A and B are shown apart, each in its own frame.
Chain A
Amino acid sequence: MRRSTRSNSGLRKIFVKSEFYLLLVIVAVSLLFTIMKPSFLTFTNIYGMVESNSFLAIMAAGVLVVLISGGIDISFTAIATVAQYVMATIVIRWGGNMFLAFAIGGAVGIGLGLVNALLIYFLRTPSIIVTIATMNLFYGLLIFISGGTWIYGFPMWFMERNLVRFGDNPGITIPILVLVLSFILTWLILKYTALGRNIYAVGGNQEAARRVGISVLKTQLFVYCYMGFLAGVASTVQANMMLTVAPNALMGRELEVLAAVVLGGASLAGGTGSILGTILGFGLIIIVQNGLTLLGISSYWHKVFVGAIIVISVGITAYQRKLRERKGAIINVEE
């Protein structure tokens, strides 16, 4: 028993990681799609695929951080919707610039995330319950106050998506840039800051974390505000792509994002998860959807495939854990 756990060579470590299997599946699936439809593996297709899903991916980074801390957030699509409304209203009425638009979106998100964090901490109620309540609260109030009308007529500067152009290629667009930046930021926070390690600690064992002197309140405040911040930023990206603000554009997609993050190896029990896993989990889902579309398979089938992928992959992980559980506790921190 002891020998087998001791002889952990570097190579072995790679094979054990769930990210490795995800990567294998992605490569296999991509290969299959490329053989069946060569247009899959083109720059334009992949770029378009990533860009059109960028706002969901940005929120996924936030969900990852919340899951690592041992919580869950259902309200982030409602937060994003509120942030989008506020941002669009201000920008259209008083003008501004791109940076300001993102700052407004992010600030509204942080504010609402703060509400979540305080309620979760002080009510001592599971985060899933609090955020279901705040989802209804935020969204209901927003539509009640705003009347739920669509918003059009963004200023000219808001309509520009390209930052740098390389010939006919799209170059660097705002959604892609913001996506990359938010992933790097999340990675840096999780890996290189004391705060990031605290998030893992609180998620792994809240009581133990409290006893070694980590402030659970501060950690949770950061986690839910960060989730809100990314939701606000993501909603600005979505507005930048769609150029309209619709009250139901983002609602109802929270479980989809959650599923992608969990597919990437984050555990709902907290304490585990990595940004690489999230990229791969999210990537697998959008690759499958994109490939099926290219193959001309009706979009009605997408959910069947996505559902099957979730059940199978989560099932494999859970079953492996069940087998390993007999060997003792596992701590899995991003390395």
Chain B
Amino acid sequence: MSKSDNKRGILSKNSEILSLGVILAVLVLLFSLALPGKFLRPSNLQSMAFQLPELGVLAFAMMITMLTGGINLSIISSANLSGIIMAMILTRNVTPNMGGGELGWIIFLAILAGMSISLAVGLVNGMIIAYIGISPILATLGTMTLLEGISLVITRGYVISGLPRSLLVIGNGTFLGVPVPLFILIAVAIAVAILLNKTRLGLSTYMIGSNIKATGFSGINTNKVTILVYMISGLLAGIASLIMMARFNSAKAGYGSSYLLVTVLVSVLGGINPNGGFGKVSGVFIGLILLQVISSGLNLLGISQFLTLALWGALLLGVEALRLAKRRVR
């Protein structure tokens, strides 16, 4: 490959992020003009920063599987199951006049249990995809239904609420005026970016998405990589469940089910190729902010949240049309 080819590759990769950034800037400008002194007010920015993280972490859980050319439809039901288990451990064992040390220990155990379940779900997903050869969409459609069923059986459809106050900080607290969940989202984004760009696993993830057979022939254990990717996806769903549980102060089967397809939408909007192999964390992050800006802006304008849904769909189609036009020009 010649040098100019490389240069063009880098440029076009960045131009993808750039065009998303331009769309974002235009939207922010429009909303600021339409809502002078309201849209860019610190309180609105803060409320946006509170709403963004749970969808954001789930989107990264979805994105990483899409990079391998797969998809993970079980993220929401897996998150709900971990949330329910964590909430059950906490509500059953925490008493109002409990000492700090003991409380900390129970919270630690609860989170450990929740994350273990998330990892186990990921392991099962990865194994049935890698070893049995079920296509990811079907495998995770099955586990999604199964996990949702287990959650319903455990809770009988009821809400589990009344969590210890010290845990709620994860969902509702702020540090230096910045919501704690936003810190978690940024940490997750950085971790995923490092994983994808700086580790062998990350490289293998992109390679599997481009051509799984060739990757296998090049000596990489594709089964192992697939399983690890789905385990990471599961763990991210677990982290999202922690944020969701702390934000709602409760857990329930069926929370956030409308997020499922939105995470696919935001991933593709952010430049993830649904066939695998291409896409960056920064793109997904901008995609997330885009959706949040539309949602908050319309909300402030007093427009129905359903128009937001419609605009999200239209935005994705518009961006896909733009991408097609770009490919044509080249």
Residues on A lying within 8 angstroms of B by beta carbon are: 74, 119, 122-126, 128-130, 132-144, 148, 252, 255, 258-259, 262, 268-269, 298, 300-308, 310-311, 314-315, 318-319, 321-322
Would you call B157 an interface residue if the criterion is a C-beta within 8 Å of the partner chain's C-beta atoms? yes
Contact A311 B324 (CB under 8 A): no
Contact A148:B261 (CB < 8 A) given known A259-B145, A301-B153, A322-B133: no
A129 with B132: CB separation less than 8 A: no
Contact: A124 with B324, CB < 8 Å? yes
Complex Cα distance A303/B314, Å? 33
Q: Assuming A268-B137, A307-B149, what are 19 further A-B pairs, CB within 8 angstroms?
A: A119-B317, A123-B324, A125-B324, A126-B274, A128-B264, A130-B317, A133-B314, A134-B317, A136-B265, A139-B310, A140-B307, A142-B306, A255-B144, A259-B142, A307-B144, A308-B146, A310-B142, A315-B132, A318-B134
> Could you list some 6 contacts between A and B, CB below 8 A?
A129-B264, A134-B313, A136-B309, A140-B306, A258-B141, A268-B135
Could you say which of A139, A301, A318 contacts B306, with CB atoms under 8 Å apart? Answer: A139
Closest B residue, CB atoms, query A258: B141
Beta-carbon contact of A315 and B128 below 8 Å: yes
Bound form: Cα–Cα A309–B240 in Å? 28
User: What are the residues of chain A within 8 A of B308 when measuring CB–CB?
Assistant: 140
Q: Mark B133-159, 1 if CB is under 8 A from A, else 0.
A: 111011101111111111011001100
Which of A74, A302, A307, A318: most chain B Cβ within 10 A?
Answer: A307
B146 touches A314 (CB 8 A): no
B145:A307 contact, CB within 8 angstroms:
yes
In whole angstroms, what is the CA distance A149 to B19 when docked?
Answer: 39
Who on chain B is nearest to A312 by CB?
Answer: B142
Q: Are A300 and B313 in contact (CB under 8 A)?
A: no
A137→B128 contact, CB < 8 A = no
The answer to whether A136 touches B152, judged by C-beta atoms less than 8 angstroms apart, is no
What is the CB-to-nearest-CB distance from B306 to chain A, in angstroms, rounded to a whole number? 4
B18 → chain A, closest Cβ, in Å? 21
Nearest Cβ in chain B — how far from A80, in angstroms? 16
- A321-B133 contact given A128-B274, A303-B146, A307-B149, CB 8 Å threshold: yes
Check A269 against B133 for contact (C-beta < 8 Å): no
> Cβ of A322 and Cβ of B132 under 8 Å apart?
yes
Partner of A300, one of B135, B152, B303, B311: B152
Q: What separation, in Å, do the CA atoms of A311 and B127 have in the docked complex?
A: 12
Q: Shortest Cβ distance from B134 into chain A, in angstroms?
A: 4
Instruction: Identify which of A139, A302, A311 contacts B128 (C-beta below 8 A).
Output: A311
Contacts of B149 in A (CB 8 A): 300-307
Chain A residues near B312 (CB-CB < 8 A)? 133, 136, 140
User: Size band of the B side of the interface?
Assistant: 35 or more
Residues of A within 8 A of B93 (CB): none
A252 to B142, CA, bound (A): 15
Per a CB cutoff under 8 Å, which of A137, A141, A258, A307 touches B148?
Answer: A307
Per the 8 Å Cβ criterion, residues 192-218 of B in contact with A are none
Min CB gap B136→A, angstroms? 10
Chain A residue at minimum C-beta to C-beta distance from B134: A318
Tell which of B142, B153, B274, B303 touches A314, judged by Cβ atoms closer than 8 Å. Answer: B142
CB distance from B88 to the nearest CB of A (A): 16
* Complex-state Cα separation, A259 to B148, whole angstroms: 15
Counting chain B CB atoms within 10 Å of each CB, the highest count among A74, A252, A304, A319 belongs to A304
- Alpha-carbon distance A128/B320, docked complex (angstroms): 13
Most buried by B among A125, A269, A298, A305: A125
Tell me, yes or no, whether B14 is within 8 Å of chain A by CB. Answer: no
Given contacts A134-B313, A318-B133, contact A307 B320 (CB under 8 A): no
| Shortest Cβ distance from A125 into B: residue | B320
Distance, CA A302 to CA B153, complexed state (A): 9
Chain B hits for A119, CB < 8 A: 317
Is B304 on the interface with A (CB-CB < 8 A)? yes
CB atoms of A126 and B275 under 8 A apart: yes
Closest to A315 in B: B132
* A304 and B133 contacting across the interface, CB-CB below 8 Å: no
Across-interface contacts of B135 in A (CB, < 8 A): 268-269, 318
Decide if B306 touches A319 in the complex (CB within 8 Å): no
A138 and B148 CA atoms in complex are apart in Å by: 27
B328 closest partner in A (C-beta): A124
- State in angstroms the CA–CA spacing of A133 and B310 once bound together: 8
Residues of B within 8 A of A307 (CB): 142-149
Q: How far is the CA of A133 from the CA of B269 in the complex (A)?
A: 10
B307:A141 contact, CB within 8 angstroms: yes
Closest beta carbon of chain A to B176's beta carbon, Å: 36
A119 to B134, CA, bound (A): 29
Residues of A contacting B141 in the complex (Cβ-Cβ under 8 angstroms): 255, 258-259, 262, 310
